[in-house]
Amino acid sequence: MFELIGIPPQALFGQMLLGLINGAFYAVLSLGLALIFGLLNVINFTHGAQYMLGAYVAWLLLNFLGINYWLALVLAPVVVGAFGILLERLMLRKLYHLDHLYGLLLTFGLALIIEGVFRNLYGISGQSYPVPPVLTGGYNLGFMFLPLYRGWVVFVSLVVCLGTWLVIEKTKLGSYLRAGTENPTLVQAFGINVPRMITLTYGFGVGLAALAGVLAAPIYQVKPTMGADMIIVVFAVVVIGGMGSIMGSVVTGFMLGLLEGLTKVFYPEASNTVIFVVMAVVLLIKPAGLFGKAS
């Protein structure tokens, strides 16, 4: 077997795949955050909790109603998205005319409450969720072993991110969203129901978080803290990519996942901090983020 710079290829590609999978989650989660921030100007700190809710809804559906993974992949985002719409209608909406900080504090508080409730109900040890039978096993690609489910996660994430990007850049609805991000007052004065568009965008962004949660359930343990662990890194991704940049958040998500994976191979001690180092450097050199526009 050949070696690359003294690293066995199995380890190198294995870690790159792990990185890519983490990157897939970063991308889907930061995409939702960027969408929400763009239109609502709210930094949605509940995003991690909503990701966790997606995983728990899938787990509950399986264990109490016998509803399988494939249905959960659709149902959990709908249920959690609907919960998000309720939050927007009843609470977030009242804060839009205030400083960003209030939306951030509200969503942070909600995240703590949701996490606390699940901690109280299910403890912190976590539940396991089985990999759906069709996606068990994997392929030997020669240079590495590819577990089928992990390939599936990367595939779904790419499809979802690309689909969302296409809708935003190429459709009429997307032009409303882009215009609404710039000047919601004028868009509304053209006859578009902007408050409803805002509600649905929040619901969609939250649904994306829940979808990531369902995808994560068979890989990571389903546990109340899974969102809190993830969201810190995702916020770093959003800051590096540039707040409110859709493509930026997706590309940055995958790239940083890979970077994290590579760091695990070459200098494992830094793998948990490398993203934050990048964040600090980017903030110093280009405060608006790699893809962000300075305002």
- For another protein, the binding residues (CB under 8 A) are 172, 175-176, 178-179, 181-183, 185-195
Amino acid identity, position 289: G
**Shortest distance, CB of residue 168 to another protein, whole angstroms?**
10
**Shortest distance, CB of residue 194 to another protein, whole angstroms?**
7
Nearer to another protein, 244 or 253 (CB): 244
**Shortest distance, CB of residue 62 to another protein, whole angstroms?**
42
Nearer to another protein, 194 or 230 (CB): 194
Place of tokens 């053209």: 190
**Shortest distance, CB of residue 189 to another protein, whole angstroms?**
4
Q: 104 near 46, Cβ under 8 Å?
A: no
Residues in the chain: 295
For 115, the token pair is 């996490």
Nearer to another protein, 25 or 176 (CB): 176
**Shortest distance, CB of residue 291 to another protein, whole angstroms?**
13
Nearer to another protein, 100 or 170 (CB): 170
Q: Among 87, 101, 100, which residue's Cα sits nearest to residue 47? A: 87
d(CA 201, CA 27): 17
**Shortest distance, CB of residue 176 to another protein, whole angstroms?**
7
**Shortest distance, CB of residue 96 to another protein, whole angstroms?**
13
Nearer to another protein, 120 or 185 (CB): 185
Nearer to another protein, 133 or 191 (CB): 191
Q: 201 near 35, Cβ under 8 Å?
A: yes
Three-state secondary structure of the chain:
CCCECCECHHHHHHHHHHHHHHHHHHHHHHHHHHHHHHHHCCCCCCHHHHHHHHHHHHHHHHHHHCCCHHHHHHHHHHHHHHHHHHHHHHCHHHHCCCCHHHHHHHHHHHHHHHHHHHHHHHCCCCECCCCCHHHCCEEECCCCEEEHHHHHHHHHHHHHHHHHHHHHHHCHHHHHHHHHHHCHHHHHHCCCCHHHHHHHHHHHHHHHHHHHHHHHCCCCCECCCHHHHHHHHHHHHHHHHCCCCHHHHHHHHHHHHHHHHHHHHHCHHHCCCHHHHHHHHHHHHCCCCCCCCCC
Nearer to another protein, 50 or 181 (CB): 181
**Shortest distance, CB of residue 254 to another protein, whole angstroms?**
23
Nearer to another protein, 51 or 176 (CB): 176
d(CA 196, CA 124): 37
